[in-house]
Structures are given as structure tokens and as C-alpha cells.
Amino acid sequence: MNLKDIEELILTIDKTSINRIDIELDNLKLSIQKGESLQKKVVAQEDNKNQEMNIETFTEEENIENDEENVYIVTAPLMGTFYRASSPDAPPYVSVGSKVKKGDKLCILEAMKLMNEIECDVDGEIVDILVENEELVEYGQPLFKIKIQG
């Protein structure tokens, strides 16, 4: 079991009513527990060595707060790998300065080998792209800033 497998397991558990899961595989002990905090802690024990990994999650309330008026923050609806285009040789869906309309494709988030197209919720102009292509993003992480038109 690698870090990607653990991240996928966390995503799956987060979508269920399960509050805690303990897994033992060969020399790996894994305990995942949902909590009230903004951070989920995964403790893995391998060959009597404790390794702690903190996986940050973001809340929508944090991301919506913005000092600039008429700016909409697009956040990741799930954890996954961020892609600006449909394929490596294709042009990006949007760039800074692009005019977008509600329903336009902004990017793709790949999670568990599924490509999820992320669409725009407002009409406006892309003023900032907050993550790099092929970057792993967390649920609720800000992806784009859009100046609302209209």
C-alpha cells in the first residue's frame, strides 16, 4: 500500500458514514479516523517504525472568504490530480485572461483513474490559476479566481 492508495482510501471513507477504520496488511498497520478538525491524521506503523502523515483538507468557508469584491473562487470538489487540458498536447481549457461562461470546462481532476471535468459556475474572466498542472490537490482547495462579470 502506497501513499496514493491511502489517499484514495481516505477519499472513499470520507464519502461514507464510516467514522473509523483499522487495517493490517503484512507489516503495515493503518488507522484512519474522521474527526471534527480540518486535518485528518493517518498513522501508519511499518516494522515498528511510526510514520505520521498529515493530509490537509480545506473548508469551503475558508475559500469563499476573499478580500476582493466580485471574485469567485473555484474550489476542488474532490481530491485528485489537476490537469489544465484534456491531454498533454492539447491546449489548456482556460488561461489567465480567458473569458468563461457558466458551464464552460475549466480543468480535469483525476481521482481513482476517473477523469472528472470541472465546470465554471459563473460568467467572468479568469484572473488567477492557483495550482500547477499535474499537481495533487485536496478537497476544497482553491483552483481558480474568476472576476464575476455581469
Give yes or no: residues 133 and 70 share one domain. Answer: yes
The reply to whether 52 and 65 lie within a common domain is no
Q: Does 49 share its domain with 68?
A: no
Q: What is the pLDDT of residue 31?
A: 75
For residues 79 and 58, what is the distance between their CA atoms, to the nearest angstrom?
11
pLDDT of residue 69: 74
State the pLDDT at residue 68.
61
Domain that residue 88 falls in = 60-148
Instruction: Give the CATH number of the domain where residue 91 resides.
Output: 2.40.50.100
Same domain assignment for residues 51 and 71: no
Task: Count Cβ atoms below 10 Å from residue 102 Cβ, excluding itself.
Answer: 10
| Whether residues 131 and 65 fall in one domain | yes
**pTM of the prediction?**
0.56
pLDDT in tens, 15-48: 777 777 778 877 777 777 766 433 444 444 444 4
Same domain for 128 and 141: yes
- Integer Cα distance of 11 and 75 in angstroms: 16
Same domain, 52 and 66: no
Higher pLDDT, 16 or 129: 129
If phi > 0 it is left, if psi is from -120 to 50 it is alpha, else beta; for residue 112 that is left
Q: Which of 56, 74, 93 is the last residue of a domain?
A: 56
Same domain, 32 and 92: no
Mean pLDDT of the chain: 79
103 and 81 share one domain: yes
- Coil vs helix vs strand at 60: helix
Q: What is the pLDDT of residues 74-118, one digit of tens each?
A: 999 999 999 999 999 999 999 999 999 999 999 999 998 899 999
**One domain for residues 69 and 143:** yes
Structural domains of the chain, count: 2
pLDDT value of position 35: 61
* One domain for residues 71 and 51: no
Mean pLDDT in residue range 47-58: 48
Q: Are residues 72 and 116 in the same domain?
A: yes
